[in-house]
Amino acid sequence: MSPQTRVTQLKWRLEDALVATKRRVIPSEIYQSPPSWVGYLLISPGVLLVSSLFVGLLILTWYSFLTFDPFEFIVYELTTESWTEFLTEPAYYGIFWRTLSLSALITVLSVGLAFPYAYLTIRVRSAFMRKTLLVGLFVPFFTGIIVRAYGWLIVLGKNGLVNAVLGVFGIGPVRFIGTKAGVVIGLLQIMIPYAIIMLAPAIQSIDRSLERAAQNLGANPIMTFRTVVIPLAKPGIAGASIVVFTITSATFAIPGIIGAGRVDFMANLIFKTLFSLTNYPLASSFSLGLVAVTSTIILIIFYLVGTGTLGISLEGEE
């Protein structure tokens, strides 16, 4: 017997043993007509895992009504103190408002900037160019937020690349670190790849002959874009907006590092409340406020433009 046959035989024997054990453990009747409880059993690990977050949201709700004590941290007495503090303290809702308005700005800018990129990636014929575009998209995407934030410190810092270039022309130094502009630049670079990934499938599904037809009928490229491509890509635009808005409104690293504590977002506020003030009830109410506002905005987008590419993936690709 050649060693190869022996390996194959061993594999078969192992398989037979496995099948035999399985038959003994699981009665074969369940396969005759697969009852749905097998399905429920199969999905239960995933559902359980996700349920920890659901349970967590309930616990957060409970925590947000507990009493904060600087010495004992949490006193198990119900109060609406945290919510009152959250809603009446201008510094807190100021940060809330900044988070939402900058997130909206970044959503519009990054979806707008991602569109030409996604369009070219899908439509370009040259394989080399498509590969370049895909690498330019995925290398930053896979690099991680901290490394990129660090990269921006080097690019935008006082002695950084941008100021070195501006210095040659006798301009500057311009301050980016600790400013809104710096944070917006940093966040755009994080969010554009997400937007491209969400837009691309929608653009892919647009029948190219429609664009040709528009052009044959005398539309110039800009008109074709505005009247054919963009309306048909609406599901992708909705999906991209939702993803970018959700991630931006919860972002921590870029405001923390580029904003240098001067352009805090909700996430930075929650972190500070948790670890500097150790005020769990207040941090819980901030967290719930963030969840509530972002979900409301997502629902509004759903209502206005439909579920978009997110919905298509939910239904499965039939």
Partner 1 sequence: MSRRRGSSVDWIFNRTRSAHIEYPLLTSFVALEIIFLLIPTLIVVFVSLESRSVVIFPPSSLSLRWYAQIPNHPQYIEAFIRSVEVAVMCTLLAIPIGISTGIGLIRYDIRFGNVIQVYLLLPFTVPLVVSGVILLILFGRLGVIGELWTVGIALTIINIPFMIWSVTSRVNALNPELEHAAKNLGADELQTFIYVTLPSIMPGVITGSLIMFVLGMNEFIVSLIITTPQIVTLPVELYTAIRANISPLIAAIASIYVIVAFITVYLADRIVGLEEFLRS
Q: Which of residues 122-181 bind partner 1 (CB under 8 A)?
A: 122-155, 157, 159-161, 164
Between residues 213 and 299, which has the closer beta carbon with respect to partner 1? 299
Between residues 126 and 276, which has the closer beta carbon with respect to partner 1? 126
CA-to-CA distance for 108 and 70, rounded, in angstroms?
A: 42
Between residues 1 and 127, which has the closer beta carbon with respect to partner 1? 127
Q: If we measure between CA atoms, which residue out of 140, 235, 135 comes closest to residue 188?
A: 140
Q: Shortest approach of partner 1 to residue 63 CB, angstroms?
A: 7
User: If DSSP states are collapsed to H, E and C, what string results for 229-253?
Assistant: HHHHCHHHHHHHHHHHHHHHHCCCH
Q: If we measure between CA atoms, which residue out of 313, 290, 294, 292 comes closest to residue 241?
A: 294
Q: Shortest approach of partner 1 to residue 18 CB, angstroms?
A: 6
Q: Shortest approach of partner 1 to residue 2 CB, angstroms?
A: 23
Q: Shortest approach of partner 1 to residue 157 CB, angstroms?
A: 7
Q: Where are the beta strands (DSSP E) in the chain?
A: 67-69, 73-75
Between residues 2 and 49, which has the closer beta carbon with respect to partner 1? 49
Between residues 1 and 50, which has the closer beta carbon with respect to partner 1? 50
Q: Shortest approach of partner 1 to residue 91 CB, angstroms?
A: 18
Q: Shortest approach of partner 1 to residue 85 CB, angstroms?
A: 17
Q: Shortest approach of partner 1 to residue 49 CB, angstroms?
A: 5
Taking the chain, what is the end-to-end CA distance rounded to the nearest angstrom? 49
Residues 46-105 binding partner 1 (CB under 8 A) are: 46-47, 49-50, 52-57, 59-60, 63
> How far is CA 28 from each of CA 14, 36, 38, rounded to the nearest angstrom?
20, 15, 12
Between residues 2 and 30, which has the closer beta carbon with respect to partner 1? 30
Q: Does 302 bind partner 1 (CB under 8 A)?
A: no
Q: Shortest approach of partner 1 to residue 109 CB, angstroms?
A: 12
The structure tokens 């809104």 sit at 180
Q: Does 108 bind partner 1 (CB under 8 A)?
A: no
Q: If we measure between CA atoms, which residue out of 264, 265, 270, 304 comes closest to residue 284?
A: 270
Helix axis angle for 90-123 and 234-249, nearest 10°, is 140
> Assign residue 34 a region: left if phi > 0, alpha if psi is -120 to 50, beta otherwise?
beta
Half-sphere exposure of 200 (CA within 13 A, CB side): 17
| Other C-beta atoms lying within 10 Å of the C-beta of residue 28 | 8
Contacts with partner 1 by CB under 8 A: the residue count is 109
Between residues 40 and 93, which has the closer beta carbon with respect to partner 1? 40
Q: Shortest approach of partner 1 to residue 196 CB, angstroms?
A: 8
Q: Which helix (H) or strand (E) holds 295?
A: helix 280-305
Residues 190-219 binding partner 1 (CB under 8 A) are: 192-193, 197, 200-201, 204
The 17-36 site mask, x for binding partner 1 (CB under 8 A), equals: -xx--xx-------x--x-x
Between residues 1 and 298, which has the closer beta carbon with respect to partner 1? 298
228, 229, 233, 253: residue in contact with partner 1 (rule CB under 8 A)? 253
Q: Does 109 bind partner 1 (CB under 8 A)?
A: no
> How far is CA 182 from each of CA 83, 155, 245, rounded to the nearest angstrom?
32, 10, 18
Q: If we measure between CA atoms, which residue out of 200, 222, 201, 202 comes closest to residue 211?
A: 222
Q: Does 299 bind partner 1 (CB under 8 A)?
A: no
